[in-house]
Amino acid sequence: MMKIRETNPKHILLLSVIFGALFYFGCNHAPEKVSTKSTTNKIQVGVFSGSGASTICIMETLEALKLDSGICGRRVSPIDIQLGVLDSMDVLIFPGGSGSKEYNGLGQTSASIVQQFAKKQGKGVVGICAGGFLFATTEGYPSLEIIRAKTIRDHYNRGRGLISIGLSNDGKKIFPELAEFDTLFVQYYDGPIYEILDSAKINVTAQINSDIATHKNDPKGVTPDKPAFLTTNYGQGKVFVSVGHPESTPGMRWMVPRMARWTVDKPLISYGKSVVRPEINTHEILYYPDVIKFEKENFWNLFGDNNSEIIDAIDNLNSIRSRPSIRWTIGLLDNYFGGCFICKIVLTPALPLPCPPLRFGRWKREGSATAPASAAACAVASSPFDRRESVRSEASPYGWKGGSR
């Protein structure tokens, strides 16, 4: 028989503090120069949620949009499109997943409506990873043919990891916060590698620096200098494509609402320093077989009984910027909101309050009175569920010495 745990009065008090803080910070995280008086004044951004769109990518994209209180984001299904929802939208984002399956999920009617949404109505469209495949003009690949570029289909699944990119001068105009950075890093997961078909109509706003060839037979030298970001016009509308995943890259998630704003010529408002943090990633980490093995080993260590091993596993996964590890560590908390939010906002090392218990142990390290400020204890803080970027330090050197090649 399932044992029902009694409610601890201390937990009730903590929840009161948490939800009070959530209300306060949720109402005060707005970027400057944005009116929040009414949703009608906000930029209306839809995120495609039909077949082919990854559930995680949808969630991460919507949560990234919440960093900008001048944007109202919502899911948009193929049925919504056919029912005329795009008439009230300014921008439509196609997230990661599978480009061909997203096209199949749209169907011919919705696909035509999306094309007219940009081409005739002058609205904005953004493609992230799979969305970039969907927008391309690639022979034999079902797509919307919105951009005059084709994807290289040979060895298209080139792997994943944190890749190195560099902005062009035009890219730095869209992201002026990054103008002083010669090299940036974003998550990548089998994104499109483009060949430009009409350079007069395509503006490459960032190039890939990394040589992404993580599988045994992948040819080398294919990805360097290929587009990482590109922009173009489509009829009266504007298009922005990212081959990687800024929405899942801590410190770079703000780039998604910026892309949306750019496509509809809205002010490119500034975001706070707790959000714009390109400096926290310092080098590429490509997922070769040894890195994948290391990630898997540390995933299984999350199920152990030894608290120190669990915390070390979380730190190890963070050191290789494991994209799914944030979701894995959320489940380790008995009280997710208490742990994540208190560690990040309410508690400091000076406060005599422990972080909430791990499902398989406790955050408290042996010999430590509180330990709420450890990297592992707050690893969940950068979860996409939170509207605020994590304020824990991620600038320290990576703890894992294996690596990228």
| Opening angle at CA 217, ends 216 and 220, nearest 5 | 100
pLDDT digits (tens, 9 = 90+) for 238-296: 999 999 999 999 999 999 999 999 999 999 999 999 999 999 999 999 999 999 999 99
Average pLDDT over residues 90-114: 96
Do residue 175 and residue 215 come from a single domain?
Answer: yes
Q: Give the contacts of 204 (CB within 8 A, at least 6 positions apart).
A: 168, 196, 227, 229, 230
Confidence of residue 38 (pLDDT cuts 50, 70, 90): low
Q: Give the contacts of 21 (CB within 8 A, at least 6 positions apart).
A: 341, 345, 346
Is the pLDDT confidence value at 74 over 50?
Answer: yes
pLDDT digits (tens, 9 = 90+) for 335-367: 444 444 334 333 333 333 333 444 444 333 333
Residue 72 or residue 327, greater confidence: 72
Evaluate whether residue 118 is within a structural domain.
yes
Distance CA 1, CA 12 (A): 26
pLDDT digits (tens, 9 = 90+) for 46-65: 999 999 999 999 999 999 99
**CA dihedral (265, 269, 273, 275) positive or negative:** negative
Do residue 122 and residue 267 come from a single domain?
Answer: yes
Do residue 215 and residue 294 come from a single domain?
Answer: no
The domain of 359 spans 288-382
Q: Give the contacts of 44 (CB within 8 A, at least 6 positions apart).
A: 72, 74, 88, 89, 90, 91
Return the pLDDT at 8.
Answer: 52
Cα–Cα separations (whole angstroms), residue 337 to 13, 55, 353, 385, 400: 13, 21, 15, 10, 29
Q: Are strands 184-189 and 124-128 parallel, antiparallel or unpaired?
A: unpaired
Do residue 354 and residue 274 come from a single domain?
Answer: no
* Structure-token pair, residue 15: 């929840």
One-letter amino acid at 340 equals: C
* Residue pair 240/124 in contact by the 8 Å Cβ criterion: yes
* Structure-token pair, residue 75: 């899911």
H or E element at residue 298: helix 289-301
Q: How many CB atoms lie within 10 A of CB 241?
A: 31
Cα–Cα separations (whole angstroms), residue 322 to 6, 253, 298, 379: 36, 16, 10, 12
Confidence of residue 157 (pLDDT cuts 50, 70, 90): confident
Last residue of a domain, one of 280, 302, 337: 280
* Residue pair 294/320 in contact by the 8 Å Cβ criterion: yes
Average pLDDT over residues 102-120: 95
Evaluate whether residue 79 is within a structural domain.
yes
Distance CA 46, CA 69 (A): 15
Distance CA 381, CA 344 (A): 6
Distance CA 191, CA 5 (A): 46
* Structure-token pair, residue 49: 């949620």
Do residue 275 and residue 293 come from a single domain?
Answer: no
Do residue 253 and residue 317 come from a single domain?
Answer: no
CATH of the domain at 248: 3.40.50.880
Do residue 268 and residue 363 come from a single domain?
Answer: no
List the beta bridge partners of residue 357. 362
Evaluate whether residue 61 is within a structural domain.
yes
Do residue 376 and residue 237 come from a single domain?
Answer: no
The number of folded domains in the chain is 2
Do residue 190 and residue 43 come from a single domain?
Answer: yes
Do residue 178 and residue 296 come from a single domain?
Answer: no
Return the pLDDT at 58.
Answer: 97
In the chain, helix, strand, coil percent, each to 5? Answer: 35, 20, 50
